[in-house]
């Protein structure tokens, strides 16, 4: 999901960073929509997509754990 994950050139780092920021901002904005928040599977998919770009986002990690718990996937929520 990340932009050009196997392409390691210094000149493209700024583009990759801008892309990552745009993806995170866009997906985070979706999580402000009440209709989207009602669809737990969609929330889980959005959280997973954000975590692929920012694996240490605590708020999204908490959201994912809470969503997994609400879906009855308690063993996955513990991981």
Predicted pLDDT of residue 7? 84
4-59, pLDDT tens digit by residue?
888 888 888 999 999 999 999 999 999 999 999 999 999 999 999 999 999 999 99
pTM of this prediction exceeds 0.75: yes
Report the alpha-carbon distance of residue 64 to residue 78 in Å, rounded. 11
Q: SS3 of 2, please?
A: coil
Please state the rounded mean pLDDT for residues 58-75: 93
Q: Is 54 exposed, middle or buried (0-12, 13-18, 19+ CB in 10 A)?
A: middle
Q: Which residues contact 26 (CB under 8 A, 6 or more apart)?
A: none
Predicted pLDDT of residue 32? 96
Predicted pLDDT of residue 74? 81
1: Cα within 13 Å, side-chain hemisphere: 13
Predicted pLDDT of residue 63? 96
């Amino acid at each position: 999901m990340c932009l050009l994950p196997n392409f390691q050139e210094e000149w493209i780092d700024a583009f990759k960073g801008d892309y990552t920021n745009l993806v995170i901002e866009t997906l985070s904005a979706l999580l402000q929509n009440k209709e989207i928040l009602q669809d737990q599977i969609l929330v889980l998919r959005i959280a997973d997509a954000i975590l692929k770009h920012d694996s240490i986002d605590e708020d999204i990690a908490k959201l994912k754990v809470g969503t997994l718990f609400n879906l009855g996937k308690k063993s996955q929520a513990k991981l």
